[in-house]
Structures are given as C-alpha cells and as structure tokens.
Amino acid sequence: MTQVFKVSKAGNDASRCADYNLLFDNRWKTMKVLAQDEITIIDTGSSGSALLFTHNLGYYPAFMVFVVDANGSNPPDYLVSKAVQCTDTELRWYHNGDSLGSITLYFYVFLNNLEEVIDGTDINIIADTDESVRKIESRFGISKPDYDTASPPKDLIAASAYSSFAIHKVSTGTKSNDILTLAHDLGYYPMFLIFGKGGDLASTGYRNLNPPASDHYCGVSESDLSVIDGYSYDYSIFILKNPAGF
C-alpha cells in the first residue's frame, strides 16, 4: 500500500479537507523554486538579449518574471509580469525595439520541467463540509537554512498559515490554429500558467514569436481550460490546485 503523507493549512483537518486546503500531499508535484533574485539591466532597444540567470538544468524550466512598469501605462510602483525567453541553460531578456533604459527585473526559476506531463485525474477532489475542523489552530512551518520557524514568511520554505502552489496537472503538446481545451474537473476556477515554445526558446508570449503576448488568451471554467489565440505552437500548461480568487 502506498503511504500517504499530508499537511493541511491551519484550521483544516488533513484527513478530510479539500485538496486546495492542503499544504502538502506526497502524491502531488509542487512548484519548487531553484532561484529567486532581482537584476538591473540596460535596455537599449536594439536587437540582442541580456542574460538574467544561468540555470544549466539541461531542460526548459517553468519561470516567472516581473518588472516595475517602465512604460508609464501603470503607476510607477506597479509590478507587471513580463514575457521573456528561456533556453535549457539560461533565462534571457530580449530587446524588442523599445528603449526602456535601466530596468530592474524580479524573477523566479523553478525546477519543474516544462515538458514533463502530469496527470492529476487520479486524485480525488473532496470537500470539507464540517465547519468544526476550522477551529483547529495548530501551526506547522519549515524554515530556509540559517533561519528558524519564527522568521518572516518570506524566509520559510513552507508554513501551514500560507498556501503553496500545488500542481494538479501539466499538459504538453502542439496547439493547432483552433481552440485548445483541456479538462481539469476540479469543480472550481483554478490558477494556471501557460508557456509557448518557439524554436529552442520557451516563452511566456514574447511578441516576436507566435503567439504575441497580446494575443495569448486563456479562459478557465470549473471543469476545463481553453486557449484561444488562432496560432499553432508547442505549449506547456500548468493547472494548479490553487483556486483563483481565494
């Protein structure tokens, strides 16, 4: 018999709560951070690229990049997600013709392989209907090296008072010009990450690749996710157990 180990978020009973109220379940994959950092580069607007990080993983990892909006379309203290590109060794910023000058980027590179398929259909999605278990106030935490569990949340690897990204499924393949629909059957609106791959680069939708970032459109329902953009390309889509909005 397979041993199952679970840790629930504070206020939930691990033996009976809904999947999205679990901090950890050893049957699931989670988003594991390889590197988190910030870097300041000079964007001249000319062709070429700037190295953000060398990961040397030998495969295309999942990633997120944010930048203080340099175009002035948002208040200057807003962070916006940014479309960059990744090879199997590096994360790079590509100049796109707009000279932005000095910009500071904040990035996450995950250990998760964009080409590893994960099928979450064998995990039961259960709902906790007993409100009495929400009175449980125990706490659980794991700190980073050189910190203790009393450290601020940013210095904890995991804490039962906070959610972690848990992967429900990862789907890869080649999208045609038609609408792509993937079933998840979670019964609620989940968070998701989508990556398109052009040539040897994995991208979140860089505008000089198809599809451009402005044309990446995804819709999610309580049962499936649809990608509607009219382009054909290789994709990797992460559907998370974390509900969108709460």
What are 189-220's pLDDT values in tens digits?
888 888 887 766 777 654 444 444 445 567 88
113-132 pLDDT, tens digit each: 998 998 866 555 555 544 44
Q: Say whether both 209 and 148 belong to one domain.
A: yes
Q: Could you identify the residue written with the tokens 């959610």?
A: 163
Is 186 in the same domain as 81? no
Same-domain status, 88 and 155: no
User: Which tops the pLDDT comparison, 242 or 132?
Assistant: 242
* Confidence tier at 99 by pLDDT (50, 70, 90): low
pLDDT score for 53: 94
Q: Who's near 138: CB < 8 A, 6+ residues apart? A: 10, 160
Do 160 and 89 share a domain, yes or no?
no
* Domain match, 14 and 72 both: no
pTM (2 d.p.): 0.76
Are residues 97 and 64 both part of a single domain? yes
181 and 211 co-located in one domain: yes
Average pLDDT over residues 154-174: 78
Domain assignment present for residue 198? The answer is: yes
In a domain, 52, yes or no: yes
Q: Tens of pLDDT along 64-86?
A: 887 765 555 544 455 555 667 88
Determine the pLDDT at residue 210: 42
Tell me whether residue 134 is in a domain.
no
pLDDT at position 29, please?
83
**For the chain, percent helix, then strand, then coil, each to nearest 5?**
5, 45, 50
Are 167 and 221 members of one domain?
yes
**Domain of 97?**
33-113
Q: Quick check: is 57 in a domain?
A: yes
154 and 75, same domain (yes or no): no
Cβ(68)–Cβ(103) below 8 Å: yes
